[in-house]
Amino acid sequence: MAIPFIKEFEARYGEPQAVTPNVRRVVAHNPSAFTFKGTGTYVIGRGKVAIVDPGPDIPEHVQAVLKAVRGETVTHILVTHTHVDHSPATPALKAATGATVYAFGPHPKPPPGVTTEQGGDQGFSPDVRLADGEVVNGAGWTVEAVHTPGHISNHLCFALREDNALLSGDHVMGWSTAVISPPDGNMRSYFESLRKLLPRSESLYIPTHGAEIHDPVPFVQAYIEHRLDRERQILACLRDGLDTVPAMVARMYKDVPAHLHPAAGRSVLAHLIQFVADGRVRCDGPPTVAARFALA
């Protein structure tokens, strides 16, 4: 099942755009191979509002978000997760608005002896930690926190009940799949978090990057099948004697630009770590990008 990616997206940098009756988007000018056209910062409500994912700490973006809420009171700042394209503008917006910051928690610390993740917002700390299923009430809006680890262990989606919409962060995006980068990125958790969404009722997903996803359940099912297909490809590589992550990536991602291969390798490694834990694959030591793998 091919993922029906949505590549059409007009990023009007710094200009607020209505997404639903209760949601507006302001896109940061930080396009890249991992952020698509840029980070979307969202405003929920009217009058007394919440800001979701403040974005990168770019002064022009912070000013654009503050301009979008001029004349309104920002009561809440909600953060899906602590990667550097999502949360670093939080202190500037909190200082300007006095809003309370809500998130699952601070950026996860790496295990002993593991290099700190370069893409993490190490200094982030919320005022209020949200648990799975916890509800945040605002002036005319209601948001449920949905814990969706996998891309990162502290990832939350936010279900806006009034619009029957899910602000899905990087968990489910229309333009691409997320990189699952160990040690904090976890493929087993990612599968579980995708399947967790299937019985939910939201009819619209609003990712932090790119366009909205209509009819999201088939989209999530395609996401799951895509990852299962990657599993099959990895096992085929091992059967054919390709026993390292770089060798597997060279075959599996031959149509992807070479500068993106290291990121692809992180997701391949995440699959292999799951395989080793399940006993389907063995490794010549700790499972790392440099290790050699074989079918068990």
CATH code of residue 284: 1.10.10.10
Total domain count for the chain? 2
Examine the fold and report which residue of 214, 230, 253 is the final residue of a domain before the chain moves on: 214
- 210 and 256 in a single domain? The answer is no
The owner of tokens 């004697």 is 241
- Domain hosting 253: range is 240-295
Same domain, residue pair 253 and 140: no
**189 and 272 share a domain?**
no
Mean pLDDT of successive 10-residue segments in the chain (296 residues)? 92 97 98 97 98 98 98 98 98 98 94 75 96 98 98 98 98 97 96 98 98 97 97 98 98 95 96 97 95 97
Identify whether 7 is part of a domain.
no
The verdict on 283 and 150 lying in the same domain is no
Is position 115 within any domain?
yes
In the numeric block, which tokens belong to residue 141? 């809006």
CA distance 70 to 246: 50
Q: Which CATH number goes with the domain that contains 194?
A: 3.60.15.10
Q: Do 278 and 191 belong to one domain?
A: no
pTM across the whole model: 0.96
Judgement on whether residues 138 and 265 belong to the same structural domain of the protein = no
What does the DSSP assignment read for 211-264?
--EESHHHHHHHHHHHHHHHHHHHHHHHHTT--SHHHHHHHHTTTS-GGGHHHH
Q: What is the pLDDT of residue 113?
A: 73
Residue 247: Cβ-neighbour burial (10 angstroms; 0-12, 13-18, 19+): middle
